[in-house]
Chain A
Amino acid sequence: MPSIQSTLGEDEGIAEELAESQRQISIAEFFEKNKHMLGFDSGARGLVTAVKEAVDNALDATEEAGILPDIYVEIDDEGDYYTLIVEDNGPGITKEQVPKVFGKLLYGSRFHAREQSRGQQGIGISAAVLYSQLTSGKPAKITSRTKGSAEAEYFELIIDTDENEPEIKNSGTTSWDRTHGTRIELEMEANMRARSQLLKYMQHTAVVNPHARLTFKEPSMDEPRQYERATDELPAETEEIRPHPHGVELGTVLKMLAATDSHSVSGFVQEEFTRVGRKTADSILDNFRDRHFGREAAWKPPQKHEKSDLARAVAEAVSNKSKDATAAFGDEVAEAIVGRNRLAHHELVELVAETAKSVGDDHGETFGDTVQENAVEAAWEQLTDDRVGDLYQLVDKATSTRKDDKTVRGLAERLAKRFEKGRERDRATHDELREYVDRAADQTEEYDDATIGDTARENVVMEVWNTMTTVPDAVPKVREFVDDRDMASDLLEAMKQTDIISPPTNCLSPITDDLVEAGLKKEFDADFYAASTRDADVHGGDPFIVEAGIAYGGELEADGQADVLRFANRVPLVYQRGACATTDVVKSIGWRNYNLSQPGGSGIPNGPAVIMVHVASTNVPFTSESKDAVANVPEIEDEIELAIREAARELKSYLNKRKSLEKRKKKQNVIASILPEMAEKLADVTGQEKPRYEDALARIMNNVLVEREVEDGTVRLVVENNSGTNEDLEITDIVSAEPRNLSDGATAVDMDGEWFVKWSPTVESGDEVALEYEVEGDASFDVSVEGIEDPKLTVNQ
C-alpha cells in the first residue's frame, strides 16, 4: 500500500482512493473470518457444532409439522475428510426454499418471532454448510421430499460468500426411501477428538426430547446407537406472541413506531404489545405525561377564613360584568377552591371554567376566556401565596424527627423559591423536582449548617411528587415519536415503569416435570429421579420457564463430580460449561443440605448424580453467538436455583430415607444374625428345641410381622405392627384350595386352580389384625405383602 505521504501529492483525493477499497462485506464473508463465533473453531468442535445445528433444525422442522421426530445422524471417516449425514422425517422443504434455507445466512422464520424454538438466528445450518465448503471445497448435498410428492428433490449447493447467496451446482430429482423429510450431507475437515462430546450431545438431546427417536452412528461403531422414545406426545405447540413492554429496547420501539398503523400512542401500545389493554395503556400514557410534560404542583387552598379575601381577589379580576354576577362568581370560585384538598393549575382552570358556566347561566351573562384567565391568575396568586407553609409540612413529614425546625424551614423556603422560579404553572418532572430538592438542600447545608442526606432528599422528593398531579395534556401522535428519540425514550421508560402482567406462556413449551423424569430414566440407569418445572417468569419482557431434574445412584459414576446437563430450549449446551449461569447456580447451592458431598461446601457436588437444568424462553440470553452458555441474568438464575432446589428436596428426603433404611438394615442384619445364634446356643444349654425368636426379632426391628397360623381348616394371618406409624398394607395369600368365609372384606380370585385371597388392611401403630379364612383339606400357601419396604417386613409363613 502506498504511504499516505506519497498519495498526498497526487491529484486524486485520498478519500476517493480509500472509498474505492471500501465496500459492504457480506454477512457470509464476515462469518468466514469469524467462524469461531459460531462454534466452528476447530475440526473437532466444528463437527459437534454441525451435528448440533443439523439436529436442531431437524427437530424444529418435525415438531412444527406435528410429526414425531425420527432422526438419523451418521458420521463417516473418508480418510482426509469426514462426511456428516443428517436425515429427518420432517415435512420436507419446497424446491424454491431449499437453497435459501441451507445456502443463505440469516434466513429463517425465527429471528423476529417471539416463540420458543431451538434455532433463533437462522445462521446455524447455513454456517455448517459454509464450514463444510470452506474446509473441503465440496458442495452440500441436500435431498428433500415433501409429503405426497413422487420424487425427492436433490441439490448440490455452495454459498457465494461475497453475495450471501446460494449457488446451485447441480440439481435434479432422485428417489428416496423416506416418504417425506430432509437429508443433508456435508463433507468437512474434521476429527473425532470430540467423540465423547458428540455422544453426550446425542444422549442429552434424547433426555430433553423424550418424544424423539434418534439414531447415531460414528466411525468407531459397528452398529448404530438407538435412542428410543419415552413418549408419543409431541411438545405442546407454541404460539407466537407480541413483544412485552418490559422486554423491548429503544431501537425496537422506534422500528415498531415507524411500522405501526396506529395513530395514537394508546392504540399503538395496545395493538403492538402483549398484555396491554385500555387500562394499562392509560397508565403508560400517564407515566409518559409525567416524564414528558412533568407534573403540576398541587397546593393547599387558603383557609376558610381567608375565603372572603379570595372571593374579593377573584371578583376584582373580573371586569365588565354585573355586580351581582361578579360577586357571585367570586364567591363560588372561592367556595369551590376552599372545598378542595389540593389544587393544581390545570384543576384550577377547570374549576374556574365550570363556575363561569354555572354562574353565567344563572345570571344570563357570559364569562368569556379573558375573564376566566384573569380569574385563574388572581386565584393562582392566592393559591401560591404560601408555598413555604405547604412545603414545610411536607418536608417535615418526609424527614426524620431529628431535623431541627430551622433546617426544615430553610429547606421548605428554598424549595418554594425553586418552584417560583421554575417552570410555569409549577410544573416539574421527577428529575427536575430532584434537582430542586438537591439545590435547596445544598444551600440549606451551606447556609444553615445542616446535613441533609441522600435518603432524606429522596423522601422529600417522594413526598412532594406524590402531591403533584399528572397533567391532562394531549400525548403527541405516533408519527411525532418516530423522529424524536427522546420522546420515544420517555415512552419506553413509561412502559417499563408501568406494572404490566407477565407475558402469556403459551409461547413456551416446557418439557414438563414428568417427561424430564422420563427422559432421565431412559438415558440414565439410576435409583432415584426427581424433576421440577417452575411457573413462567419474565426477564426483560421475554417469558421463560426453568426445569430441573436430578438422577441419583444406580449405575451412575460414583467417583468425582456430578454430571451437570445444561439445556436451552431443548438444546444441549456442550461447551463453555464454566461460563454458564446454570453451572454457577449449581456451584452456589449448598449441596450438603441435600445430603450430597460437596468438598469445601461449594462447587459441583460429588457423587453418583446427574443434575439437569432446562431453560426455555422466547429469547434465551446466551453469552455468545455460538450459544454455549446461558448469560448470568438474575431473574433466570433465581429460577434455576428454585427449580434445582425443588428437585433436590426430593433427593434429600430420598437419601434420608435410604440412610435410615440402610441403618435399619444394618442393625437388622446384625441382630438378625445374632438372634438365631442365641436361640441355637440356648437350645444347647437348656437341652430343648430351638426357641422361636422371630417374634422378638420383629419387635426389635419395629417391624410389621405377618404370621400364619393354621388350625382345623382355619387359616389366620396375624399382622402385628410394631412400627411407630400406621401401615396400609396389601396382603395377598395364594392358596392351593378354595378358600371360604373370607374375613375383613377380602376378595378371592381363582387363577388356574390357585386362589388369590387379597386384603387391604390398615394396621395402626402397635396394633394387631387377624385376617382369616377357611379351607378344606391340605393346602399350600404363599403370602405376599405390599405397601411396606422390605426391610421393615417380617413374614413367618
Chain B
Amino acid sequence: MSADNEAKAQEKLIDLAAEFYDQFDRGEIPEMSVPTRTKSNIVFDEDEEVWVYGDRESTRSANSVRGARKLLKAIYTIDFLSEQLEEDRSSTLRELYYLSESWDVDEAQFSSQDESNQLVEDLEIVSEVTREDFHMRPEESGATIMGPLHLREQTRRGEREIHCQEDVGEGGYQIPNNPDTIEFLDNDADFVLCVETGGMRDRLVENGFDEEYNTIIVHLKGQPARATRRITKRLHDELDLPVTVFADGDPWSYRIFSSVAYGSIKSAHLSEYLATPEAQFIGIQPEDIVEYDLPTDPLSDSDINALESELEDPRFQTDYWEEQIEIQLDIEKKSEQQSLASHGLDFVTETYLPERLTEMGVL
C-alpha cells in the first residue's frame, strides 16, 4: 500500500461526491447506479476466466424516500472515508456502523450493519477502489498460513520478515487485512492447500503434511475472507503454485470452493483481484463418500435446495460439478472432512490426500 494508492482512493471518492454535486447544480435528481448483485446478474468473463457482474443495474435515486436516505448515507460515508484516508487511519465495517450513530443527522445513520456493509460495497463498485484502499477492515481478521514461505510484511510498526514455518508457532502466520502489504521473498513450496476447517488444518500441521509435501497450508476458516482469497490468488499468480481446496462434502463447502475459484456474488466486482480460476477441488467429493466408505449424514431439505440452486448457478455449470452434484442428490448423503478419521488419524495424510493429489496431477 502506497501513499499513491490512498491519494487515488480519496480522489475517486471526492469525484463521486462531485458528481452528486453537479447533478444538484444541473437541477437533476441525484442518483447512483450500481450493478444488481444477484445470482442472475453474474456473467463469465472469458478473458479473466472469472465471474463478474452483468449489465443489469439498480439505481439509487433521491426521488424516493428510501433512495434519498441511501444517498445521504453514501455522502456521509464518503466524507468519513475521505477523512479517514486523510488521517491515515483505518476502521472496521462494524465500527463504521456504530460510528454512524454519532453523525449529526438522524437520517444519515445506518439501521443495520448489513446496510453499511452493502453501502461500502456500493462505493467500492462505483469508485472502483477496493475497501482495503478505503482502509476498511472486515470484523474478523484473515486466516493463517503455514508452509515453506518467506515473506516481508509492511506493518504500522515497521517492516517484518517472517518465515511461515520457522518464525511462527503452531498457529501459523496471520494474514493481514490488506495482503497487498506483503512482499514474497522466497519459498520451497510445491503447491497451495486451502483447508476449510480448523480441525483438519491442525491435523495436517500435526502430521507434518506441510513439511513432508512442501505445502503452503492456507486456513480458509469457513467462507474465506477477502484477504485470504487475495493472498491465495497472489500465491498462485506470483509464485506460480497450483492451488487446491480441501473442504467438507456438502453444498455449502462447494460454495466455499467456488468463491475461491470463481469469485463470490457479493464481490463479483473484485473477482479478477480475488478469484483463482485455476484452483482445484480435492474433496470431499460425493464420489469419495462412496469410494472411501465414509460415515455420512443424510441431506437436509435445505441441503437439497442448495444443491438444486447450485445446479442453476452459472459458476457450477461444468460437467464436473454437474456430475458431482447429481451423485450427491442421488445418494442423499454428505460427509465432513474429519470423517476421514474413521480410518485412523493418519489416513488423511498418508492415504487420502496423496491419492487424490496424485489423481489430480498435483503430486
Tell me the A residues contacting B by CB distance below 8 Å: 667, 670-671, 673-675, 677-679, 681-686, 688, 691-693, 695-696, 699-700
What is the CB-to-nearest-CB distance from A689 to chain B, in angstroms, rounded to a whole number?
10
Q: Given the complex, which residues of A lie within 8 Å of B69, measured CB to CB? A: 670, 674
Contact B79–A685 (Cβ < 8 Å)? yes
Contact A681–B63 (Cβ < 8 Å)? no
Q: Given the complex, which residues of A lie within 8 Å of B28, measured CB to CB? A: 696, 699
Tell me the B residues contacting A by CB distance below 8 Å: 13-14, 17-18, 20-21, 23-25, 27-30, 62-65, 68-69, 71-72, 75-76, 78-79, 82, 105, 107-108
| Residue among A671, A675, A682 with max Cβ neighbours from chain B (10 Å) | A682
Known contacts A684-B79, A685-B14; is A679 also within 8 Å of B24 by CB? yes
Known contacts A674-B72, A682-B17; is A693 also within 8 Å of B65 by CB? no
What is the CB-to-nearest-CB distance from B100 to chain A, in angstroms, rounded to a whole number?
13
Q: Which residue of B13, B18, B20, B63 contacts A678 across the interface (Cβ within 8 Å)?
A: B20
CA distance A699 to B21 in the complex (A): 16
10 A-B pairs with CB atoms under 8 Å apart are: A674-B71, A675-B68, A677-B108, A678-B20, A682-B21, A684-B79, A685-B17, A685-B75, A700-B62, A700-B68
Contact A681–B76 (Cβ < 8 Å)? yes
Contact A682–B29 (Cβ < 8 Å)? no
| Residue among A667, A673, A678, A692 with max Cβ neighbours from chain B (10 Å) | A678
A670 — nearest CB in chain B belongs to which residue? B65
Contact B24–A681 (Cβ < 8 Å)? no
Task: State the majority secondary structure of interface residues on A.
Answer: helix
Q: Which residue of A671, A682, A700 contacts B20 across the interface (Cβ within 8 Å)?
A: A682
Q: Given the complex, which residues of A lie within 8 Å of B65, measured CB to CB? A: 667, 670-671, 674
Q: Given the complex, which residues of B lie within 8 Å of A670, measured CB to CB? A: 65, 68-69, 107
Contact A675–B62 (Cβ < 8 Å)? yes
| Residue among B24, B25, B28, B105 with max Cβ neighbours from chain A (10 Å) | B24
Q: Given the complex, which residues of B lie within 8 Å of A685, measured CB to CB? A: 13-14, 17, 75, 78-79, 82
Q: Given the complex, which residues of B lie within 8 Å of A686, measured CB to CB? A: 14, 17-18, 21
CA distance A674 to B106 in the complex (A): 10
| Residue among A670, A674, A685, A693 with max Cβ neighbours from chain B (10 Å) | A685
B107 — nearest CB in chain A belongs to which residue? A674
B83 — nearest CB in chain A belongs to which residue? A685
Q: Given the complex, which residues of B lie within 8 Å of A691, measured CB to CB? A: 21, 24-25
| Residue among B27, B75, B78 with max Cβ neighbours from chain A (10 Å) | B27
Q: Which residue of A671, A684, A693 contacts B24 across the interface (Cβ within 8 Å)?
A: A693
Q: Given the complex, which residues of A lie within 8 Å of B82, measured CB to CB? A: 685
What is the CB-to-nearest-CB distance from B83 to chain A, in angstroms, rounded to a whole number?
9
Q: Given the complex, which residues of A lie within 8 Å of B71, measured CB to CB? A: 674, 678
CA distance A33 to B108 in the complex (A): 79
What is the CB-to-nearest-CB distance from A148 to chain B, in angstroms, rounded to a whole number?
74
Contact A682–B75 (Cβ < 8 Å)? yes
Q: Given the complex, which residues of A lie within 8 Å of B14, measured CB to CB? A: 685-686
| Residue among B21, B28, B63, B108 with max Cβ neighbours from chain A (10 Å) | B21
Contact B76–A699 (Cβ < 8 Å)? no
B65 — nearest CB in chain A belongs to which residue? A670
What is the CB-to-nearest-CB distance from A679 to chain B, in angstroms, rounded to a whole number?
6
Q: Given the complex, which residues of A lie within 8 Å of B27, measured CB to CB? A: 692, 695-696, 699
CA distance A693 to B68 in the complex (A): 13
Known contacts A671-B62, A696-B30; is A681 also within 8 Å of B23 by CB? no
CA distance A683 to B25 in the complex (A): 12
What is the CB-to-nearest-CB distance from B59 to chain A, in angstroms, rounded to a whole number?
14
What is the CB-to-nearest-CB distance from A655 to chain B, in angstroms, rounded to a whole number?
23
Q: Given the complex, which residues of B lie within 8 Å of A667, measured CB to CB? A: 64-65
What is the CB-to-nearest-CB distance from A686 to chain B, in angstroms, rounded to a whole number?
5
CA distance A667 to B69 in the complex (A): 12
Q: Given the complex, which residues of A lie within 8 Å of B29, measured CB to CB? A: 696, 699-700
Contact B68–A671 (Cβ < 8 Å)? yes
Contact A696–B23 (Cβ < 8 Å)? yes
A679 — nearest CB in chain B belongs to which residue? B24
What is the CB-to-nearest-CB distance from B187 to chain A, in angstroms, rounded to a whole number?
44
B23 — nearest CB in chain A belongs to which residue? A696
What is the CB-to-nearest-CB distance from B108 to chain A, in angstroms, rounded to a whole number?
7
B20 — nearest CB in chain A belongs to which residue? A682
Q: Given the complex, which residues of A lie within 8 Å of B107, measured CB to CB? A: 670, 673-674, 677
What is the CB-to-nearest-CB distance from B11 to chain A, in angstroms, rounded to a whole number?
12
Q: Which residue of A678, A683, A692, A696 contacts B72 across the interface (Cβ within 8 Å)?
A: A678
Nearest 3 A-B pairs (CB), nearest first? Answer: A695-B27, A691-B24, A685-B17
CA distance A671 to B65 in the complex (A): 6
